[in-house]
């Protein structure tokens, strides 16, 4: 093996620039690689861009200065960049519905809710429970709240407990305060003593 020693050498400025540029390009190309773990992290970051998260949320719905409803949730995630923006409440939701005098006429609770902002429609799911101040309560697995029409409804199985009876059926419609309602397909009625 022959060893060559170079004590000094001179390059012209244009040759030096060209050599440095070539060295930088080679270095950059040699360090490029598609690390699957890094790509997965970047993909997750891109998927989460535009998500707004909030904890201990209180949302008030008003009409002409009057409080109509109040929604609370321990966690809310909002997706404003989607084609149809929406809010998700994955850790549960509670709702309070008020009359014109500011008195709560009914309450709502569930394990999950999703609010479609443009349509003013909220879908409430899993262990849905609605109670009014007359001692009546509705139980179902899915309930829709149409804010524009100010009504709640479902096409699922429902159970309504009143002070006098328990009603079973499929399909239900009510004003949002759960004070005037109708069961679409009554399946059974049990008197309570």
- How far apart CA 159 and CA 138 sit, in angstroms, is 6
> Which class does domain 52-191 fall in?
mainly beta
Chain-centre distance for alpha carbon 135 = 31
First-to-last alpha carbon distance for the chain, in angstroms, is: 106
pLDDT tens for the chain, 193 residues: list them: 434 333 333 444 444 454 555 555 544 444 445 566 655 554 554 455 578 898 998 888 888 888 888 989 999 999 988 888 999 999 999 999 898 888 899 999 999 999 998 999 999 999 999 999 999 999 999 999 998 998 999 999 999 999 999 999 999 999 988 989 999 988 877 776 6
Query: Rounded to the nearest 5°, which phi and psi values hold at 23?
Result: -65, -40
Instruction: Evaluate whether 171 touches 188 at the Cβ level (below 8 Å).
Output: no
- How far apart CA 140 and CA 26 sit, in angstroms, is 65
- How far apart CA 147 and CA 164 sit, in angstroms, is 30
Q: What is the pLDDT of residue 3?
A: 40
Instruction: Evaluate whether 61 touches 47 at the Cβ level (below 8 Å).
Output: no
- How far apart CA 189 and CA 167 sit, in angstroms, is 5
Residue 48 burial by Cβ neighbours in a 10 Å radius (0-12, 13-18, 19+): exposed
Beta partners for 114?
Answer: 88, 123
Q: What is the pLDDT of residue 39?
A: 52
Q: What is the pLDDT of residue 41?
A: 56
Instruction: Evaluate whether 79 touches 103 at the Cβ level (below 8 Å).
Output: no
Q: DSSP alpha helices (H): ranges in the chain?
A: 13-31, 36-48
Q: What is the pLDDT of residue 90?
A: 94
């Amino acid at each position: 093996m022959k060893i060559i020693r170079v004590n000094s050498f001179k390059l012209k400025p244009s040759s030096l620039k060209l050599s440095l540029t070539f060295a930088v390009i080679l270095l950059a190309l040699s360090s490029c690689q598609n690390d699957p773990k890094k790509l997965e992290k970047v993909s997750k970051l891109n998927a989460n861009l535009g998500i707004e998260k909030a904890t201990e949320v209180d949302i008030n719905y008003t009409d002409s200065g009057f409080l109509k409803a109040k929604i609370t949730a321990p966690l809310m995630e909002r997706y404003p960049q989607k084609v149809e923006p929406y809010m998700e409440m994955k850790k549960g939701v509670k709702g309070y519905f008020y009359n014109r005098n500011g008195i709560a006429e009914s309450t709502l609770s569930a394990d999950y809710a999703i609010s479609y902002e443009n349509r003013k429609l909220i879908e409430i799911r899993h262990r849905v429970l609605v109670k009014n101040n007359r001692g009546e309560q509705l139980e179902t697995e899915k309930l829709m709240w149409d804010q524009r029409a100010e009504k709640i409804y479902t096409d699922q199985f429902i159970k309504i407990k009143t002070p006098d009876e328990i009603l079973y059926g499929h399909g239900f419609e009510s004003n949002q305060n759960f004070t005037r309602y109708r069961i679409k397909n009554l399946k059974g009625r049990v008197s309570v003593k």
